[in-house]
Amino acid sequence: MKIVVLAGGTSTERAISIVSGTEVAAALQGRGHQVFLLDVFCGCSDEEAAGAFERECSIASVVRKMEENSKNIKELIKNRREFIGPNVIEICQKADIVFMALHGANGEDGKIQAVFDLFGIRYTGTDYLSSAIAMDKGLTKQFFRWNNVPTPKGSVIKKGDIDISYRQFDIELPVIVKPCCGGSSVGVTVAYTNEEYTEALKEAFYYEDKVIVEEYIEGREFSVAVIDNKPYPIVEIAPIKGFYNYENKYKAGSTVETCPARISDELTAKMQKMAVDGAKALGITGYCRLDFMMDENDDIYCLEANTLPGMTPTSLIPQEAAVLGISFPELCEKLLGLSR
Protein backbone atom coordinates (compact mmCIF):
# COMPACT_ATOMS: atom_id res chain seq x y z
CA MET A 1 0.00 0.00 0.00
CA LYS A 2 0.97 3.63 -0.49
CA ILE A 3 0.81 5.14 2.97
CA VAL A 4 1.39 8.69 4.18
CA VAL A 5 2.33 8.79 7.87
CA LEU A 6 1.22 12.25 8.96
CA ALA A 7 3.03 13.72 11.96
CA GLY A 8 4.39 16.97 13.39
CA GLY A 9 1.93 19.85 13.48
CA THR A 10 1.96 22.83 15.82
CA SER A 11 0.51 21.53 19.10
CA THR A 12 2.31 21.17 22.42
CA GLU A 13 2.63 17.48 21.48
CA ARG A 14 4.57 18.06 18.26
CA ALA A 15 7.70 16.32 19.58
CA ILE A 16 5.74 13.24 20.64
CA SER A 17 3.96 13.16 17.29
CA ILE A 18 7.29 13.07 15.49
CA VAL A 19 8.37 10.07 17.58
CA SER A 20 5.06 8.31 16.91
CA GLY A 21 5.34 9.03 13.20
CA THR A 22 8.91 7.76 13.09
CA GLU A 23 8.01 4.47 14.79
CA VAL A 24 4.94 3.88 12.63
CA ALA A 25 6.71 4.78 9.38
CA ALA A 26 9.61 2.43 10.14
CA ALA A 27 7.25 -0.40 11.10
CA LEU A 28 5.13 -0.10 7.97
CA GLN A 29 8.15 0.31 5.72
CA GLY A 30 9.55 -2.85 7.27
CA ARG A 31 6.35 -4.65 6.27
CA GLY A 32 6.96 -3.76 2.63
CA HIS A 33 4.62 -0.78 2.28
CA GLN A 34 5.48 2.36 0.31
CA VAL A 35 5.68 4.91 3.10
CA PHE A 36 5.99 8.69 2.97
CA LEU A 37 6.59 10.39 6.35
CA LEU A 38 5.17 13.92 6.18
CA ASP A 39 4.96 16.96 8.48
CA VAL A 40 1.38 18.24 8.24
CA PHE A 41 2.39 21.85 8.99
CA CYS A 42 5.74 22.20 7.24
CA GLY A 43 4.84 20.05 4.23
CA CYS A 44 7.52 19.42 1.63
CA SER A 45 9.01 20.82 -1.57
CA ASP A 46 7.51 20.40 -5.04
CA GLU A 47 10.42 18.13 -5.95
CA GLU A 48 9.82 15.87 -2.95
CA ALA A 49 6.10 15.79 -3.69
CA ALA A 50 6.67 14.88 -7.33
CA GLY A 51 8.78 11.89 -6.28
CA ALA A 52 6.46 10.69 -3.53
CA PHE A 53 6.20 6.88 -3.54
CA GLU A 54 8.59 6.61 -6.51
CA ARG A 55 11.58 5.98 -4.26
CA GLU A 56 12.00 4.71 -0.72
CA CYS A 57 11.44 7.40 1.88
CA SER A 58 14.49 8.16 4.01
CA ILE A 59 12.78 8.29 7.39
CA ALA A 60 15.92 9.49 9.17
CA SER A 61 16.29 12.44 6.77
CA VAL A 62 12.65 13.48 7.19
CA VAL A 63 12.93 13.28 10.97
CA ARG A 64 16.05 15.45 10.98
CA LYS A 65 14.20 18.06 8.92
CA MET A 66 11.17 17.90 11.23
CA GLU A 67 13.31 18.36 14.31
CA GLU A 68 15.14 21.26 12.69
CA ASN A 69 11.82 22.93 11.91
CA SER A 70 10.73 22.35 15.51
CA LYS A 71 13.44 24.74 16.69
CA ASN A 72 11.78 27.56 14.73
CA ILE A 73 8.17 26.41 14.91
CA LYS A 74 6.88 29.51 16.74
CA GLU A 75 8.39 31.78 14.10
CA LEU A 76 7.00 29.61 11.32
CA ILE A 77 3.53 29.84 12.87
CA LYS A 78 3.74 33.64 13.00
CA ASN A 79 4.62 33.85 9.32
CA ARG A 80 1.82 31.58 8.05
CA ARG A 81 -1.94 31.52 8.39
CA GLU A 82 -2.49 28.07 6.90
CA PHE A 83 -2.12 25.00 9.10
CA ILE A 84 -1.80 22.51 6.26
CA GLY A 85 1.64 22.84 4.68
CA PRO A 86 2.75 22.85 1.05
CA ASN A 87 1.87 19.73 -0.98
CA VAL A 88 0.32 17.89 1.98
CA ILE A 89 -3.11 17.46 0.41
CA GLU A 90 -1.60 16.54 -2.97
CA ILE A 91 0.58 13.79 -1.49
CA CYS A 92 -2.23 12.45 0.72
CA GLN A 93 -4.44 12.21 -2.36
CA LYS A 94 -1.82 10.02 -4.03
CA ALA A 95 -1.81 7.61 -1.07
CA ASP A 96 -4.11 4.68 -0.48
CA ILE A 97 -4.47 5.83 3.11
CA VAL A 98 -3.07 8.29 5.67
CA PHE A 99 -1.86 6.94 9.02
CA MET A 100 -2.63 9.69 11.54
CA ALA A 101 0.33 10.01 13.90
CA LEU A 102 -0.76 13.47 15.00
CA HIS A 103 -1.46 14.37 18.62
CA GLY A 104 -3.14 17.39 20.17
CA ALA A 105 -4.70 20.50 18.67
CA ASN A 106 -5.37 20.67 14.92
CA GLY A 107 -4.56 16.99 14.55
CA GLU A 108 -6.60 15.09 17.10
CA ASP A 109 -9.55 17.49 17.32
CA GLY A 110 -11.34 16.60 14.09
CA LYS A 111 -10.18 19.48 11.90
CA ILE A 112 -7.82 17.48 9.69
CA GLN A 113 -10.32 14.63 9.61
CA ALA A 114 -13.02 16.98 8.30
CA VAL A 115 -10.69 18.31 5.59
CA PHE A 116 -9.77 14.79 4.53
CA ASP A 117 -13.45 13.84 4.35
CA LEU A 118 -14.05 16.74 1.96
CA PHE A 119 -11.12 15.65 -0.23
CA GLY A 120 -12.07 11.98 -0.11
CA ILE A 121 -8.83 10.99 1.62
CA ARG A 122 -8.88 7.82 3.74
CA TYR A 123 -7.30 7.98 7.19
CA THR A 124 -6.86 5.96 10.37
CA GLY A 125 -8.84 6.64 13.51
CA THR A 126 -12.33 7.92 14.18
CA ASP A 127 -14.27 10.62 12.31
CA TYR A 128 -14.16 14.39 12.73
CA LEU A 129 -17.17 14.71 15.03
CA SER A 130 -16.16 12.10 17.63
CA SER A 131 -12.60 13.46 17.48
CA ALA A 132 -13.86 16.95 18.32
CA ILE A 133 -16.05 15.72 21.18
CA ALA A 134 -13.32 13.57 22.74
CA MET A 135 -10.76 16.37 22.44
CA ASP A 136 -12.93 18.67 24.58
CA LYS A 137 -12.77 17.31 28.13
CA GLY A 138 -15.79 19.39 29.14
CA LEU A 139 -17.94 17.86 26.41
CA THR A 140 -16.49 14.43 27.18
CA LYS A 141 -17.68 14.74 30.78
CA GLN A 142 -21.19 15.63 29.63
CA PHE A 143 -21.37 12.72 27.19
CA PHE A 144 -20.11 10.33 29.86
CA ARG A 145 -22.76 11.55 32.32
CA TRP A 146 -25.54 11.33 29.73
CA ASN A 147 -24.55 7.73 29.03
CA ASN A 148 -24.02 6.65 32.66
CA VAL A 149 -20.25 6.29 32.39
CA PRO A 150 -18.87 7.25 35.86
CA THR A 151 -16.54 10.26 35.72
CA PRO A 152 -15.13 12.60 38.41
CA LYS A 153 -17.16 15.62 39.50
CA GLY A 154 -16.06 18.86 37.91
CA SER A 155 -16.82 21.56 35.39
CA VAL A 156 -15.40 24.03 32.87
CA ILE A 157 -14.07 27.47 33.81
CA LYS A 158 -13.54 30.16 31.16
CA LYS A 159 -10.62 32.55 31.27
CA GLY A 160 -12.65 35.54 32.43
CA ASP A 161 -13.99 33.58 35.39
CA ILE A 162 -10.69 32.90 37.14
CA ASP A 163 -12.17 33.86 40.55
CA ILE A 164 -14.67 30.98 40.49
CA SER A 165 -14.14 28.62 43.42
CA TYR A 166 -13.89 24.87 43.06
CA ARG A 167 -16.54 24.63 45.82
CA GLN A 168 -19.16 25.77 43.30
CA PHE A 169 -18.73 22.36 41.66
CA ASP A 170 -19.41 20.50 44.93
CA ILE A 171 -15.79 19.42 45.31
CA GLU A 172 -13.05 20.07 47.85
CA LEU A 173 -9.26 20.17 47.77
CA PRO A 174 -7.24 18.59 46.37
CA VAL A 175 -8.47 19.23 42.83
CA ILE A 176 -7.13 18.62 39.33
CA VAL A 177 -6.81 21.64 37.03
CA LYS A 178 -6.13 21.04 33.34
CA PRO A 179 -6.56 22.65 29.93
CA CYS A 180 -9.88 21.65 28.37
CA CYS A 181 -8.50 20.48 25.04
CA GLY A 182 -4.86 19.72 25.76
CA GLY A 183 -3.07 16.40 25.69
CA SER A 184 -0.11 14.53 27.20
CA SER A 185 -0.92 16.16 30.58
CA VAL A 186 0.62 19.48 29.45
CA GLY A 187 -0.50 22.21 31.86
CA VAL A 188 -2.08 19.75 34.32
CA THR A 189 -1.69 20.44 38.05
CA VAL A 190 -2.86 18.84 41.29
CA ALA A 191 -3.75 21.67 43.68
CA TYR A 192 -3.69 20.92 47.43
CA THR A 193 -4.16 24.49 48.73
CA ASN A 194 -6.07 27.60 47.68
CA GLU A 195 -2.80 29.24 46.66
CA GLU A 196 -1.88 26.23 44.50
CA TYR A 197 -5.37 26.31 42.98
CA THR A 198 -4.93 29.93 41.89
CA GLU A 199 -1.52 29.17 40.40
CA ALA A 200 -2.88 26.03 38.70
CA LEU A 201 -5.57 28.11 36.96
CA LYS A 202 -2.94 30.54 35.70
CA GLU A 203 -0.83 27.64 34.41
CA ALA A 204 -3.75 26.01 32.58
CA PHE A 205 -4.99 29.33 31.14
CA TYR A 206 -1.54 29.88 29.66
CA TYR A 207 -2.37 27.10 27.21
CA GLU A 208 -6.09 27.61 26.65
CA ASP A 209 -9.06 29.87 27.37
CA LYS A 210 -11.08 27.03 28.92
CA VAL A 211 -9.94 24.73 31.72
CA ILE A 212 -11.37 21.78 33.62
CA VAL A 213 -11.52 21.74 37.42
CA GLU A 214 -12.41 18.33 38.80
CA GLU A 215 -12.17 16.32 41.98
CA TYR A 216 -8.90 14.54 42.54
CA ILE A 217 -9.42 10.80 42.69
CA GLU A 218 -6.68 9.31 44.83
CA GLY A 219 -5.90 5.74 43.96
CA ARG A 220 -4.62 3.59 41.13
CA GLU A 221 -4.49 4.70 37.49
CA PHE A 222 -5.28 2.51 34.49
CA SER A 223 -5.65 2.70 30.74
CA VAL A 224 -7.66 0.54 28.34
CA ALA A 225 -7.50 0.45 24.56
CA VAL A 226 -10.68 -0.19 22.60
CA ILE A 227 -9.91 -1.48 19.12
CA ASP A 228 -12.69 -2.49 16.72
CA ASN A 229 -15.16 -2.20 19.64
CA LYS A 230 -13.19 -4.73 21.70
CA PRO A 231 -11.35 -3.92 24.95
CA TYR A 232 -7.66 -4.83 25.15
CA PRO A 233 -5.78 -5.91 28.30
CA ILE A 234 -5.69 -3.23 30.99
CA VAL A 235 -2.48 -1.36 31.80
CA GLU A 236 -1.86 -0.12 35.34
CA ILE A 237 0.19 3.07 35.42
CA ALA A 238 2.22 3.78 38.56
CA PRO A 239 4.51 6.84 38.39
CA ILE A 240 7.55 6.50 40.61
CA LYS A 241 7.13 10.13 41.63
CA GLY A 242 4.08 12.39 41.44
CA PHE A 243 1.21 11.79 39.01
CA TYR A 244 1.14 10.70 35.36
CA ASN A 245 2.32 14.03 33.92
CA TYR A 246 4.18 14.78 30.68
CA GLU A 247 7.58 13.73 32.00
CA ASN A 248 6.28 10.51 33.53
CA LYS A 249 4.51 9.63 30.29
CA TYR A 250 7.51 9.96 28.03
CA LYS A 251 10.67 9.64 30.12
CA ALA A 252 11.84 6.05 30.17
CA GLY A 253 12.00 4.54 33.65
CA SER A 254 9.84 7.17 35.35
CA THR A 255 6.70 5.03 35.47
CA VAL A 256 6.00 1.38 36.24
CA GLU A 257 3.49 0.03 33.71
CA THR A 258 1.96 -3.37 34.38
CA CYS A 259 0.03 -5.17 31.67
CA PRO A 260 -2.19 -6.98 32.23
CA ALA A 261 -3.04 -5.07 35.41
CA ARG A 262 -3.08 -7.04 38.63
CA ILE A 263 -6.73 -6.62 39.53
CA SER A 264 -9.54 -9.12 39.99
CA ASP A 265 -11.38 -10.66 37.07
CA GLU A 266 -14.52 -8.86 38.24
CA LEU A 267 -12.86 -5.42 38.23
CA THR A 268 -11.16 -6.18 34.92
CA ALA A 269 -14.49 -6.99 33.27
CA LYS A 270 -16.10 -3.91 34.82
CA MET A 271 -13.38 -1.53 33.63
CA GLN A 272 -13.21 -3.04 30.17
CA LYS A 273 -16.99 -2.66 29.80
CA MET A 274 -16.72 0.96 30.93
CA ALA A 275 -14.06 1.51 28.28
CA VAL A 276 -16.31 0.14 25.52
CA ASP A 277 -19.26 2.15 26.88
CA GLY A 278 -17.14 5.30 27.06
CA ALA A 279 -16.00 4.94 23.46
CA LYS A 280 -19.58 4.37 22.32
CA ALA A 281 -20.80 7.38 24.32
CA LEU A 282 -18.42 9.60 22.35
CA GLY A 283 -19.18 7.93 19.02
CA ILE A 284 -15.60 6.73 18.56
CA THR A 285 -14.95 4.08 15.92
CA GLY A 286 -11.78 2.26 14.89
CA TYR A 287 -9.60 2.62 17.96
CA CYS A 288 -8.97 4.77 21.01
CA ARG A 289 -7.60 4.60 24.54
CA LEU A 290 -9.50 5.53 27.70
CA ASP A 291 -7.95 6.48 31.04
CA PHE A 292 -9.33 5.52 34.45
CA MET A 293 -8.82 6.05 38.17
CA MET A 294 -9.85 3.53 40.84
CA ASP A 295 -10.12 4.65 44.46
CA GLU A 296 -9.57 2.67 47.65
CA ASN A 297 -13.20 1.47 47.54
CA ASP A 298 -12.66 0.02 44.06
CA ASP A 299 -14.93 2.66 42.54
CA ILE A 300 -13.84 3.30 38.95
CA TYR A 301 -13.98 6.65 37.15
CA CYS A 302 -13.40 7.30 33.47
CA LEU A 303 -11.26 10.40 32.96
CA GLU A 304 -11.06 10.91 29.21
CA ALA A 305 -10.59 9.29 25.81
CA ASN A 306 -7.66 9.62 23.41
CA THR A 307 -8.63 9.22 19.75
CA LEU A 308 -5.05 9.24 18.44
CA PRO A 309 -3.03 7.66 21.28
CA GLY A 310 0.75 7.71 21.24
CA MET A 311 2.63 5.17 19.17
CA THR A 312 6.03 5.68 20.79
CA PRO A 313 8.34 3.05 22.36
CA THR A 314 6.79 3.77 25.78
CA SER A 315 3.16 4.10 24.61
CA LEU A 316 0.42 2.02 26.15
CA ILE A 317 -1.56 0.53 23.25
CA PRO A 318 1.52 -1.28 21.84
CA GLN A 319 2.04 -2.80 25.31
CA GLU A 320 -1.57 -4.00 25.43
CA ALA A 321 -1.33 -5.46 21.93
CA ALA A 322 1.89 -7.28 22.83
CA VAL A 323 0.07 -9.15 25.61
CA LEU A 324 -2.26 -10.50 22.91
CA GLY A 325 0.73 -11.55 20.80
CA ILE A 326 0.33 -8.67 18.35
CA SER A 327 3.66 -7.10 17.34
CA PHE A 328 4.01 -3.36 16.77
CA PRO A 329 4.11 -3.66 12.94
CA GLU A 330 1.08 -5.98 13.06
CA LEU A 331 -0.74 -3.46 15.24
CA CYS A 332 -0.03 -0.66 12.77
CA GLU A 333 -1.42 -2.76 9.93
CA LYS A 334 -4.46 -3.68 12.02
CA LEU A 335 -5.23 0.00 12.59
CA LEU A 336 -4.95 0.59 8.84
CA GLY A 337 -7.49 -2.17 8.29
CA LEU A 338 -9.98 -0.46 10.63
CA SER A 339 -9.75 2.86 8.80
CA ARG A 340 -12.55 4.87 7.30
Could you tell me what percent of the chain has a pLDDT over 90?
81
Strands (E) across 49-134 are located at 97-100
Q: Which of 46-50, 165-169, 172-176, 245-249 is least confident? A: 245-249
Residues 6+ apart with CB under 8 A from 50: none
Per-residue pLDDT tens over the stretch 29-57: 999 999 999 999 999 999 999 989 988 99
Measured from the Cβ of residue 40, the count of other Cβ atoms closer than 10 Å reads 26
Per-residue pLDDT band for 248 (boundaries 50, 70, 90) equals: very low
- Which own/partner contact pairs does 49-55 have at CB distance under 8 Å and 24+ positions apart? 49/86, 49/87, 49/90, 49/91, 52/91, 52/94, 53/2, 53/94, 53/95
Section 210-221 average pLDDT: 94
- The DSSP result for 191-257, as a single string, is E-SHHHHHHHHHHHHHH-SEEEEEE---SEEEEEEEETTEEPPPEEEEESSSSS-HHHHHSTTSEEE
Query: For residue 96, which phi and psi values (nearest 5 degrees)?
Result: -75, -30
**pLDDT of 250 over the 70 cut:** no
C-alpha 157/C-alpha 213 separation (Å) is: 7
Per-residue pLDDT band for 182 (boundaries 50, 70, 90) equals: low
| pLDDT at residue number 7 | 98
Closest C-alpha among 42, 37, 40, 44 to residue 23: 37
Q: Which amino acid is at 1?
A: M
Per-residue pLDDT tens over the stretch 67-120: 999 999 999 999 988 999 999 999 999 999 999 999 988 899 999 999 999 999
The residues with which 235 forms a beta bridge, in sequence order, are: 223
Per-residue pLDDT tens over the stretch 284-322: 999 999 999 999 999 999 999 999 999 987 799 999 999
**pLDDT of 247 over the 90 cut:** no
Is the N-terminal amide bond of 313 cis, ω within 30° of 0? Answer: no
